[in-house]
Structure 1
């Protein structure tokens, strides 16, 4: 919206009064920077979990990063550790925390890691786990509460029908799909935070 407004203004001739700049000193009118310490900046589909900058407008933010829980499947039981979750999660994005809970007395079918990842890149669908004593194994990923995303290009924020890069071919098989969404289940809340 702001881009279209600025575009319209670019076509106009301004009066002398409109051309006079309003000069302000930040210490007189600005919200103190410490008031932004716990602020979040949001967009339609997700929150940008970054510290708000008092010198930026809402349109200066790229909304390029998103925090989400990722489930990592097909991990040998002996390797289901927070350390491996952090290592594999780092291939998806910046690791925020791991979930090291036991579910019903067992390790569960997958590991969970919360990551902040770059939404300008396609969703990652798997991680390859390579061990010196065994053959490499493919570890499929699923995202919890994954917002609207394109099954054609794997980017968050548009559908395959509105995708600028995916050709519209009848019967086409897409590289991404609903299978990337983790089914909703109740989880316990025993997490290990590794950074903030």
Structure 2
């Protein structure tokens, strides 16, 4: 089940996406305005599902997903699927991110009565991005800001990509 910002259930066919990926390339559509020219559009924002890991099971709520998601970008939907009474191993939020800024690698969950948790992020269907600077749209080899040093370790990596869900071995025919 997917919920919008107001907690209302949204059927799968009713969701509107602003960005898609096609053969690992991201593209975006924006509502046309007859008073704007092509140069007035920036296409710097992208909607993407983000998985938030390392949350204590007792805190996995839609309210917390909204708060943590807001630290990543503008939250448009929250996945409130329930597996055995909880949301599973991670929380999932659909956010609008600014692609001119580096990807977030984690969010910090702090509580006054307990230690802070570092919650790792993974992005679903993440387009190509730079492992050096964290920006979407170019690789580390083409990065204008990352120095090219042999054996260098980067702040970002393939671990930011969420694994694709496993498909059923049997497909319905028809």
TM class by shorter chain equals 0.7 to 0.9
Name the TM-score, length of structure 1 as normaliser.
Answer: 0.70
The residue matched to 1:114 in structure 2 has which SS?
Answer: strand
Runs of 4+ in 1 over 4 A off after TM superposition: 40-44
Is the strand fraction higher in 1 or 2? Answer: 2
Give the structure 1 partner of residue 58 of structure 2. Answer: 78
Residues 54 and 118 in structure 2, CA contact (< 8 A), matched pair in contact too: yes
How many pairs are equivalent?
149
Matching of residue 129 in structure 1 with residue 109 in structure 2: yes
Residue equivalent to 2:44: 64
Match status 1:166 vs 2:152: no
Equivalent residue for 1:180, pick from 160, 168, 172: 160
What residue ranges of structure 1 are gaps of 5+ in the alignment? 1-37, 188-196
3-state SS of the aligned residue for 2:67? Answer: helix
Which has more radius of gyration? 1
Instruction: Give me the CA root mean square deviation.
Output: 2.3
Deviates more, 1:98-107 or 1:155-164: 98-107
> 2:118: which partner in 1?
138
Deviations for 1:39-63, whole angstroms, at most 9, x for unmatched residues? x688984343543222233343211
Q: Give me the whole-angstrom Cα distance separating, in 2, the residues matched to 1:144 and 1:161.
A: 23
Aligned-pair CA distance for 1:105: 5.5
Higher helix share: 1
Residue in structure 2 matched with residue 147 of structure 1 by the alignment: 127
TM-score, normalised with respect to structure 2: 0.78
Distance 2:21 2:34 in 1: 17
Note if contact 1:92-1:117 (Cα within 8 Å) is conserved in structure 2.
Answer: yes
